[in-house]
Amino acid sequence: MDFSLSQPQAALQDSVRRYCRESYDLQGRQQNLRSAVGFSARHWAAFADLGWLGATLPEDAGGFGGSVVEAAIIFEEFGRALVLEPYLPSAILAAHALYHAAGARESRALLQPMIEGRRLLSLAHSERHHSAGAGMVATTARKTPAGQFVLNGKKTFALGGNRAHQFVVAARTSGQPQDPHGVSLFLVDHSTSGLSRRCYRALDGGGVADLLLDEVEVAPECLIGREGNAFEALERAITFATVSVCAEAVGCMDQVIATTVDYLKTRRAYGTTLSTYQALQHQLADMLVELEMSRSMLYHVFAAFARDEGPERQRAASSAKALIGRSGRLVAARGIQLHGALGMVDDYIIGQQFKRLTVIEALFGNSDFHLNRRFRQ
């Protein structure tokens, strides 16, 4: 398989890289992170103007027809810059779940406001523990004689849920928890009566929310796609998002190594720079090996996505997440260690990279979860 980028892909990579280099300095990032919103509305509008919000969505849904490769290109650069904007929850997780559940005709109108940057979406699926599979849904959706749906249940760790305008809520219209059949998706406005959210920040400062749905009544048209048929759509969206954060981790690891090399070349001890010490060079070499193994696993995923539409994609994504999650934590921890006391300063970039890689390792199931799932398949 040829892994060289096509001309449009190379142009996309150059566009994202240049924007992040010119617009994402550490001081500005920290100011946006500490703001009430937690990210920059100006950056989000720029993402929409540049076409990135629809880059990975099919053309028949109003997107630009990108694949997992385009997603990886974007997220690798986002990982280098530690981008704060809720691209993952809105343009990947919620958007792909909505598209696969509804199909092109219905999803186009629903996704257009998000692609244009006018609306933020969040997928509210997780319950009790955010690494549970797509079928682990206990929230119920009861159909009334009038055709309305009444939702009851709790959702945890909805990424981007603190600022979302609409939630794509997974609820069970039939069956038991862990049953792949009977799961439906509903588009619920954040101001709907009976919906309350507890907003907080994850370890890396990203906004998330827990939702309480208490007799939340929604119209029949809020049902996305066919009733009880959303399991596959959720699986596909979560798998796509898993590969996306793997690519983000690769970009972040690359930047951790670059930051650490620059530090060791300037920090002096006993009359020479730290970069001349062989023991530290060996640690850097180990970090580089982990990075290259992680990048190779991404290529393995690309090959699986090119060959197969089903189980092979999930197996490849789990293999990548198991290895890249572990490698990301190792590289980040080594970076902190090699920086010494400076690595413990909260406002220094290496600490922010460590936090993001720690969160990525836990998202959509940690390394142990995916390793176990891979060997069960």
Question: Residue 106 contacts by C-beta under 8 Å, 6 or more apart in sequence?
Answer: 224, 225
Q: Do 344 and 262 fall into the same domain? A: yes
Indicate whether 195 belongs to any domain: yes
Structure tokens at 349: 């970039």
Q: Which domain-ending residue is among 210, 228, 246? A: 228
Q: Do 127 and 202 fall into the same domain? A: yes
Would you place residue 110 in the very low, low, confident or very high pLDDT band (cuts 50, 70, 90)? very high
Q: Do 188 and 266 fall into the same domain? A: no
Beta bridge partners of 114: none
Would you place residue 130 in the very low, low, confident or very high pLDDT band (cuts 50, 70, 90)? very low
Among 137, 124, 65, which residue's Cα sits nearest to residue 89? Answer: 124
Indicate whether 149 belongs to any domain: yes
Q: Helical H runs in 35-151?
A: 41-49, 68-81, 87, 95-102, 104-115
Q: What is the pLDDT of residues 37-88, one digit of tens each?
A: 999 999 999 999 999 999 999 999 999 999 999 999 999 999 999 999 999 9
Please state the domain count of the chain.
3
Would you place residue 131 in the very low, low, confident or very high pLDDT band (cuts 50, 70, 90)? very low
DSSP letter, residue 127 = B
Indicate whether 2 belongs to any domain: no
Q: Do 85 and 149 fall into the same domain? A: no
Q: What is the pLDDT of residues 151-203, one digit of tens each?
A: 999 999 999 999 999 999 999 999 888 888 899 999 999 999 999 999 999 99
User: What CATH number is associated with residue 340?
Assistant: 1.20.140.10
Dist. CA 363–CA 40, nearest whole Å: 23
Q: What is the pLDDT of residues 213-261, one digit of tens each?
A: 999 999 999 999 999 999 999 999 999 999 999 999 999 999 999 999 9
pLDDT of 134 reads 64
Q: Do 221 and 238 fall into the same domain? A: no
Indicate whether 131 belongs to any domain: yes
Q: Do 246 and 309 fall into the same domain? A: yes
pLDDT of 258 reads 96
Question: For 191-211, b where at least 16 C-beta lie within 10 A, e where not — what string?
Answer: ebeebebeeeebebbbbbbbb
Indicate whether 345 belongs to any domain: yes
Q: Do 266 and 308 fall into the same domain? A: yes
Indicate whether 1 belongs to any domain: no
Among 326, 335, 333, which residue's Cα sits nearest to residue 261? Answer: 335
Flag whether pLDDT at 2 surpasses 70. no
Domain extent at residue 285: 232-376
Q: Do 178 and 243 fall into the same domain? A: no
Q: Which domain-ending residue is among 71, 89, 115? A: 115
pLDDT of 1 reads 59
The count of other CB atoms within 10 Å of the CB of residue 21 is 12
The whole-model pTM stands at: 0.94
Q: Do 265 and 363 fall into the same domain? A: yes
Q: What is the pLDDT of residues 331-376, one digit of tens each?
A: 999 999 999 888 888 778 999 999 999 999 999 999 998 988 887 7
